[in-house]
Amino acid sequence: MDLSQSRNKPLALSPSLVVLAWVVTLFISDLPDILLRELTGNVPGWLFWSKVGLLLVLAAVSLAWQALRPLRDYLLILLVILLASFGSVRLTNMKPWQNRFAAADAPFALSMLGEQLRRLTVSLAVIAAFLLLRYRRDGFFLVKGQLDATGAPIRWLGITRPYSYRRFGPLAALCISLGLGVFLVIGGGLPHVSPGSVTLLTVAAVVLLAATNAFNENMTYRAAPLATLEPAIGPSQAMLLTAVLFGVGHFYGVPYGVVGVIMAAALGWILNKAMLETGGFFWPWFIHFCQDALVFSFMALGAIAAGG
């Protein structure tokens, strides 16, 4: 795909629509929560409901106001993500769930399984919303995509010629994993591997959890916003905005803080580009899976922990 063109019919971009998309996304993202938590130590309950209220109002206005209509599906999908996330958190706070997955002595695999099941409910809600909005699966990238698609040059990475994803996909996964591995070793040291600490069950758990996490994050942080934003504000702005959303969402991840945000945003942009150019899920999921498998391996061995 030529990223200078929309996947859908060409459109005349409205600068005001682009600005509105950025303002809404940054307000709906974790950014306000992070700022309040870091500066005051508390996130007021009204913040979440103000986000929901804003999306409801704008979605309603988009039904009547032609100028806002291109963002309608994006606003609705954001609303689904917010409400599904809220519901899933309420579910995981219930005592039976806490006793099963969040006990103080729960092993990494069990506690992370609980988190991935929670995220999976959000992903399924997003998929259901797209189907209710009459999207085809390829309309929100829930297809393999063209594995040998041609990618446009990435000059800030020193890639000055078009490339095939058949080669770029595995190479990107390897290079990004090596860079992340060096960072994890510097930040947390080499994992301590004692006899019996690595079993077939541990390896299987890491692979399953990494695969699930890569699916969940690519659905909510990537496929959902790209599918609805790209027709409205064009591929370049959609890729950048979605990368920022992905980066901010990893402030409390691994790596932690601003460095983690920058690294996740850069990775997010590359994965966004791959999703748009291949028209599918596979290469973004695979590259993301490799990073998650590495991070989860370090976490399973106790070398690092999420959130600093």
Type of residue at 301: L
Spans of all domains in the chain: 15-300
pLDDT at 201: 84
User: What is the mean predicted confidence (pLDDT) over 247-266?
Assistant: 89
Residue 106's pLDDT is what? 79
**DSSP category for residue 154:** B
> Averaged over 34-47, what is the pLDDT?
94
Instruction: Please write the tens of the pLDDT for every residue from 193-207.
Output: 766 667 788 889 999
Q: CA–CA separation, 9 vs 145, rounded Å?
A: 20
Q: Could you say which DSSP state residue 221 is in?
A: I
What's the pLDDT at 256? 82
CA atoms of 56 and 58, how far apart (whole Å)? 6
pLDDT band at residue 10 using 50, 70 and 90 as cut-offs: very low
- Strand pairing partners for 151? 163
Between residues 149 and 100, the one the model is more confident about: 149
Q: What is the mean pLDDT of residues 38-47?
A: 94
DSSP state of 163: E
User: What angle do helix axes 108-132 and 282-300 make, rounded to 10 degrees?
Assistant: 160
How far apart CA 42 and CA 33 sit, in angstroms, is 8
Cα separation, 75 vs 23, whole angstroms: 12
Q: What is the mean pLDDT of residues 40-53?
A: 95
Give 256 or 148, the one with higher predicted confidence. 148
Alpha helices per DSSP H over the chain: 15-28, 31-40, 45-64, 72-92, 95-101, 108-132, 165-188, 200-218, 224-233, 235-248, 257-278, 282-300
Of 193 and 294, more confident? 294
CA geometry: angle at 22 spanning 21 and 24, to 5°? 65
Does the structure show a pLDDT above 80 at 55? yes
pLDDT in tens, 161-187: 999 999 999 999 999 999 988 888 887
Q: Are 37 and 43 a contacting pair, CB within 8 Å?
A: yes
The 10s digit of each residue's pLDDT in 195-247 is 666 778 888 999 999 999 999 999 999 999 999 999 999 999 999 999 999 99
CA distance 301 to 279: 36
Average pLDDT of the segment spanning 276-280: 98
Determine the Cα–Cα distance for residues 286 and 169; give it in Å rounded to an integer: 8
Please say if the pLDDT value at position 286 is more than 70.
yes
